[in-house]
Every structure is written in C-alpha cells, then in structure tokens.
C-alpha cells in the first residue's frame, strides 16, 4: 500500500508537484561499507531555488543493502515536497513529474553514500543525484544533491540531512487540537506493517498501514468520523526548527505530526 495525502497545517489544503531533493554520498575507498539498511527520514533544502513553491522535501525510504549496493523500490520510497510559511505547512500531492512513483539506487563505500533518486510520472522522469557522509554510528547522514531540469522544472541543487528511524512501536499520547489527549498503541512488525489501536467517542478502532522511512501511512474506520486516511510525519530536529508549534503546542524531535483526510491535525508523543 502506498498513498500520498494532500495535506496542509493551519490553513487551506494545497496541491501538486515540486522539484524535490535528496540524499547522497561522496567518494571512494576500500573500507568496510557503512550499514545503512533501514528506514530513513531525509529532509532536503533547495539552496539554488529557495523561493520555489516547494523548497523543501521529505524523502522517506526503507533502504535495503547487499554489501555496497543499496536500493529502495517504489513501494519503499515516498517523496513529499513541502513548504513552510509562517504557521502554514503545505505538502504537495505529487512529485516533480506529476506522479507518486519514486525509487532509490545507491552505493556505499566506507562512510560515503552516493545515490540517484528517480521520480516518475505522466510528465516524464526527474533524476536527483547526490552524495553524503554517513555518521560513524550509522544513524545520520548529511550531504548535497543536484538535479538537471526536467518535467517542466528548472535545475536544482541543495543540501539534506537524514536520520535513521527506529521501530515506531509503542504507546502515544495524541493532541488533536480539541483540548483532550487520546492514547493510541502502535505496533510495527518486521516488514514495517503497522497496526494502530485506540478509542474515540467511547468506541475502539483499529487502523492499519505501513511505515515508510519516517512516515506512518494509515487508514481505517474511526467512530464518529468514518473511513479516514492518516499520514504521520516523524519530526527531526530540522523539521522542529521549521515547524516549532502545532495546535498551540511546542514540537520536539521524535514526535509525529499527524494529518487526517478529514482535515484533522494532531501531534503524537511517544510515552516513556
């Protein structure tokens, strides 16, 4: 299951594409390749086009690795171009080429990560290449990306920071902006399938979906609402800087920003 939800925080919903960005690495070497398999949440910033409609992108990928070869197929990759303006956080519904299909092809040599992110859609193919340095503990990466003009977008270049995301299983307190906090329980299996249980209006509900990078993509019937889709975005330190408050509550790294297809916006905090 792979879905892209059109979402916006604080104001009206927004739409459409965005020439995004991505992850990378820098050199050669004969050292043991860094272990990068896992869920990665990568936030990119355009330095070439800072005034673009969507100057940022969240690149979410479940990377697989065999020796020096790294990849993530279309079912394991999702790109969300977004903008932040004051209290508004807008996310595009499509990639740069008007589609929702993205893949990652990469290699790693020592701590140097080199990649190509390919976005495809009805308007063509958009390739983003780059390099990054993986931290010694394998939990973060920082680098630069570039992309040639394609799909009606000009060339682009920028920087990015990636964070390895651990299992999201646990109990969360959710502030939905109504003044009450609800509790949900999230279970993630070894294939990154998700089951979320909770209660609403005195009745229990179950959501199912998947974890892709720092995203939780969920759907299910919620009492009083009906069939609803949710996307929850992991808040990295970089995203906290961009989105310091939600529903009047200060954000902190490690929380999830939740958007519902019913227009709801929530903030989930994992309980210790």
**Residue segments in the chain with a per-residue pLDDT below the cut of 70:** 1-30, 87, 179, 272
pLDDT of residue 249: 86
Domain boundaries, the chain: 7-165, 170-270
Compute the distance between CA of residue 201 and CA of residue 179 in angstroms, rounded to an integer: 14
Fold of 170-270: Lipocalin (2.40.128)
pLDDT at residue 13 in the model: 27
Q: What is the pLDDT of residue 254?
A: 94
Look at residue 30 in the predicted model and tell me its pLDDT: 66
Q: What is the pLDDT of residues 37-89, one digit of tens each?
A: 999 999 999 999 999 999 999 999 999 999 999 999 999 999 999 998 876 77
CA geometry: angle 5, 56, 143, nearest 5 deg: 125
Q: 7-165 maps to which CATH number?
A: 2.40.128.120
> How does pLDDT run across 215-236, given as a tens digit for each residue?
999 999 999 889 999 999 999 9
In eight-state DSSP terms, residue 75 is G
Task: Name the helix (H) or strand (E) containing 194.
Answer: strand 193-200
Same fold yes or no, 7-165 and 170-270: yes
Query: At 123, phi and psi to the nearest 5?
Result: -95, 0
């Amino acid at each position: 299951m792979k879905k892209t939800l059109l979402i916006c925080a604080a104001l009206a919903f927004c739409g459409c594409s965005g020439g995004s960005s991505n992850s990378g690495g820098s050199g050669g070497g004969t050292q043991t390749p860094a272990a990068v398999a896992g869920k990665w949440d990568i936030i990119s910033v355009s330095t070439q086009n800072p005034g673009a409609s969507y100057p940022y992108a969240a690149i979410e990928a479940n990377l697989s690795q065999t020796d020096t070869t790294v990849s993530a197929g279309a079912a394991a990759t999702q790109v969300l171009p977004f903008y932040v303006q004051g209290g508004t956080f807008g996310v595009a519904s499509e990639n740069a080429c008007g589609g929702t299909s993205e893949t990652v092809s990469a290699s790693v040599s020592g701590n140097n990560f080199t990649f190509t992110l390919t976005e495809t859609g009805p308007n063509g193919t958009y390739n983003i290449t780059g390099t990054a340095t993986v931290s010694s503990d394998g939990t973060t990466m920082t680098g630069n990306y570039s992309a040639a003009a394609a799909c009606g977008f000009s060339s682009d270049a920028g920087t990015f920071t990636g964070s390895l995301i651990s299992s999201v299983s646990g109990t969360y307190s959710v502030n939905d902006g109504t003044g009450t906090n609800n509790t949900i329980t999230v279970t993630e299996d070894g294939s990154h399938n998700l089951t979320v249980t909770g209660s609403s209006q005195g009745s229990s509900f179950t959501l199912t979906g998947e974890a892709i990078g720092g995203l939780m993509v969920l759907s299910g019937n919620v009492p009083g609402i009906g069939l609803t889709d949710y996307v929850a975005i992991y808040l990295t330190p970089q995203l906290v800087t961009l989105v310091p408050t939600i529903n009047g509550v200060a954000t902190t790294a490690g929380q999830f920003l939740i958007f519902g297809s019913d227009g709801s916006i929530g903030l989930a905090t994992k309980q210790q």
